Amino acid sequence: MAVKGIFRGLMRQGSAPQGDSASVAAPYAAPHEASVDPGLRLSLLESFEQTGLGWFWSTDSEGRLSYISQTVLEDAASFLGRPFVTVVETDGSAEVGQSARSLGFQLSARSRIADVVVRFAVRRDDPRWWSLSGQPRHTPEGVFEGYTGFARDVTREYTRQREDERAAEFDSLTGLYNRHRMTRRLDSVLSAYRASGRCCSLLMLDLDRFKHVNDTMGHPAGDELLRQVAERLRKVVGDRGDIGRLGGDEFQVILPDVEDRGKLGELTSRLIQMISQPYAIEGKRAVIGTSVGIAVAPHDGEDRDALVASADLALYAAKNGGRGQFRFFSAELKDEAQERTILTGDLREALGRGELELHYQPVVRIADNYVVGFEALMRWNHPERGAIAPSVFIPIAEESNLIVPLGDWALKQACSDAANWPDNVRLSVNVSAVQFGVAGFVNSVASALATSGIDPERLELELTETVFMRDSEAVDETFGSLKGLGVRLALDDFGTGYSSLSYLRSAPFDKLKIDRSFVETCAAKDNNSAKIISAVIGLADALGMETTVEGVEAFDQLEVVKKRGAKLVQGHLFARAMPLAEVETRLASGDLKLEPNGPKRHRPERRSVFRRVTVIHEDHRYEAVMRDLSRTGARIDGLLGVPVGTSLVVDLGGGQLVVSMVVRSEEAVIGVEFEQPLTSDGAGGLCTRHRVPPSTLAAAAAAAEPKGKPRFIQVAVPGSRDRA
C-alpha cells in the first residue's frame, strides 16, 4: 500500500492521524474537503514523508505490516509482511508516555490507537522515539481490513521526560532506585501479595567503616566507593530483586517471593563477602564491610512500616553482634535491644567496680604437651546477671568505644600478671582495631612493658585484619613503632577476612593464628578445611612465621592438625581459659604439661540448649524441653511412652514447625530427626528455612479441637520451670 492508499484509508475513516504538525493537520482538517485537489493532498503527504519528521504505516487484518515509509526505515520493503509488533516496540524500561496496555493488545482490540511511544525494534541503534497513532479500517460492509496510521518524532521531549522520571525514581550517584521508588515498590508488592499469602523478603544494609573512608580519603572518594558498592550489589542480586540506596551508606533490597531463610542466608553471605573485598580508589585501597538485617513478610510484618521496623531491628542486632554479619528478625530482638542499652550502661561502670577480670587459656606445644604461653581473655562477672559472655559484651564495648579503656586495662593487667611467670612463658593479648587506631596506643604498650618489667619478646599482640581498614601509612607507622619496642605480632582469625595474603607482604607478623572455623570441620569427609590448614602452615613456614591452631576440642581434630604440621594449639581438648590463681598454682608447682582430655570425635552441629518447645502429635499438644539441637535433630525431654518411628511436629515458636521422626526413646527422653535440616540464623543459632504464616497459625489454633485421649504422658523436667 503506497501513500495514496494510506491517504484513501484515512479519508474513508473520516479522521486524521494524531499529531501537532500544522503541515500535516491542514490537509486533513480542511473545511471544504470536496474542493481540495486530491493530488495536492497526496503531494503534501509525500513531501512531509520526505522530511523524516514522521512516517506512515498500515497493516492488514492479521496485524502484518503492509506499508511503512521508506524514508524513516531503510530496507522498508524487507519488513513488509512481518507482524507490526515485531518491527516496533514500546519502552520496557520506563512507565512514561505510553499506554498501560501493550501495543499488541490494542491492535488485537481493533480500537483507536493514540500517542503510544515506540521505537524501532529492528533498528536498536536508532535513538529516535515516535508517538504512534492509528485508526482501524473497515469495508463499507464493516469487515475489518487492518490499521492505517501515522507516527511523529518525539525524541527530544520523550528523552527529557524519561530523564525527569529517572531523577524522581533513581539515586543520581549510584543509579540504584531511591528511597521514594523503593517505598512505592515495597507498598505495591506487599499489597499485591497480602491476599494470596505470598512472601516478600526485605534486606537492610549498612556499610561498616564507611565514615572512616570519607574522613580520611575525602568525600569524592566516598562517592566513588558508593558507586562501586552499588555495582557489586547488582552483580550479587541480579534480577532476583530491587536494589535501592536510601541515603548515605544505607541500602535496601526487596526480594519478592523469597522466603527460604537458607537461601536468604546464602545470598546475604555472598553480599557481605563481595562488599568486604578491597576497593581501588584514586590509587589507594579502601576496605569496608557491611551488616545486614533481614525480615520476611508476612511473618515479620504485613505492611511496609512493620516490615521495615523489623529489618531495622535485625540490622541493629547484626551491627551490635560484631559487624560483618547478618541477622534474621525474631521477636526476641526487641528485648535484646533493650537489654543491650542496659548492659552498655552497666559496662561503663564495670571496670571501676572491679567486675572485670582476666582468664588465661594455655597455648600447648603438640610435641610434648607443654604449655609455652597463655592468651589473656576478658571476663565480666555482673553482680546481678552473673557471668556475661565475651561474645555479648565485647561488641557492646566496641560499639560504645569502651573497648579503648577496657583494652588498655587488659594490656596493663596482663603484663603485670605475666611478670611473675617463668621467662620462657609468653603472654598473648588481643588488641581491637579501634584500640590499635588510637594515637596513644604505642605509648600504652610501652607503659605496660615498663611498669611490669617483662621482656618485650614475651608479649604477643594479637590483631585481626580489621586493623588494615585505617590509612595504610598510619598502620605501617604503628607496626614499625611496635616492632621498635621489641614485641611480637600475631595475625588472629587468619583466612576469614578480606585479602589476607596481601597483608603478609609488608606487615611484620611473627605468627599466624588459624581460625577455629577451619578446625571445626577439618576431620569431616569431603571438606577442604584440612587442606587449608596445611596450606596456611606451609605458608607461615615459608615466611619464617609460627602458627597456632585455635579451637581444638576433640582427638580427631588434634590428629588432623598434627599430621598437617601444626606445632602449637589451643582448645578445650587441653584446657579452657582459667583464672589467674589457677595459672599461678600450676606455675608454682612446675606442672606445665597438659594431657589432652575430651571426646574422640568432634560433633560440630550439636548445641547444648535448654528451651521450652511444644510437641504436636495428631491433634494433641505437649509441653516439653529441648536440651540438644543440631541441624538434623534434637533431644527432647518430658514425654513418656513415645515409640520409635512416631511422627511428630516440633513447634520452635514464631511459626517454625519442624516435621520430625522419633529415632530414640528411653523413658521420658526422645531423640528426633528432622525431615528438613535447619539453617543458620546468622547469630550462631539455628532456625527453620520456612515458617507458617501467622494467619494460618491463628486459623489452625481456632479450629483445633482435640479428639480422644492423648497417647503420651507429659512429665515435669527438673529445672525447666526455673531455666526455660
Q: Is the pLDDT of residue 23 over 70?
A: no
Q: What's the pLDDT score for residue 407?
A: 94
The class of domain 353-589 in CATH terms is alpha beta
DSSP state of 496: S
Distance CA 593, CA 574 (A): 10
Q: Is the pLDDT of residue 20 over 50?
A: no
Q: What's the pLDDT score for residue 379?
A: 95
Distance CA 569, CA 567 (A): 7
Copy the grid coordinates of residue 287: 576496605
Distance CA 534, CA 495 (A): 12
- Residues 237-249 as b or e (16 or more Cβ within 10 Å = b): beeebbbbbbeeb
Task: Name the percent of the chain in helix, strand, coil, to the closest 5.
Answer: 40, 25, 35
Distance CA 668, CA 713 (A): 9
**pLDDT tens, residue by residue, 358-406:** 999 999 999 999 999 999 999 999 888 888 888 788 888 887 889 999 9
Q: Is the pLDDT of residue 722 over 60?
A: no
**Domain 3-161 CATH (choose: 3.30.70.1560, 3.30.450.20, 3.10.20.600, 3.90.1570.10):** 3.30.450.20
Q: Is the pLDDT of residue 217 over 90?
A: no
Q: Is the pLDDT of residue 515 over 80?
A: yes
Q: Domains of the chain: which residue ranges?
A: 3-161, 170-330, 353-589, 607-723
State whether the Cα torsion 570-326-382-413 is positive or negative: positive
Question: Model confidence at 122, in pLDDT bands (50, 70, 90)?
Answer: confident
Q: Is the pLDDT of residue 441 over 50?
A: yes
Q: Under CATH, which architecture does the 170-330 domain have?
A: 2-Layer Sandwich (3.30)
CB 710 within 8 A of CB 615: no
Q: pTM surpassing 0.75?
A: no
The class of domain 607-723 in CATH terms is mainly beta
Least confident stretch, 35-44, 50-59, 130-139: 35-44
Question: Model confidence at 252, in pLDDT bands (50, 70, 90)?
Answer: very high
Question: Model confidence at 434, in pLDDT bands (50, 70, 90)?
Answer: confident
- Mean confidence (pLDDT) of the chain: 85
Q: What's the pLDDT score for residue 464?
A: 85
Q: What's the pLDDT score for residue 48?
A: 72
Q: What's the pLDDT score for residue 608?
A: 61
Least confident stretch, 141-150, 403-412, 505-514, 581-590: 505-514
Highest mean pLDDT among 119-128, 221-230, 621-630 belongs to 221-230
Question: Model confidence at 335, in pLDDT bands (50, 70, 90)?
Answer: low
The percentage of the chain sitting over the pLDDT mark of 70, rounded to a whole number, equals: 87
Angle (nearest 5°) at CA 83 between 3 and 76 = 45
Between 286 and 608, whose confidence is greater?
286
Classify burial at 349, counting beta carbons within 10 Å of its beta carbon; exposed 0-12, middle 13-18, buried 19 or more: exposed
Least confident stretch, 81-90, 248-257, 406-415, 480-489: 81-90
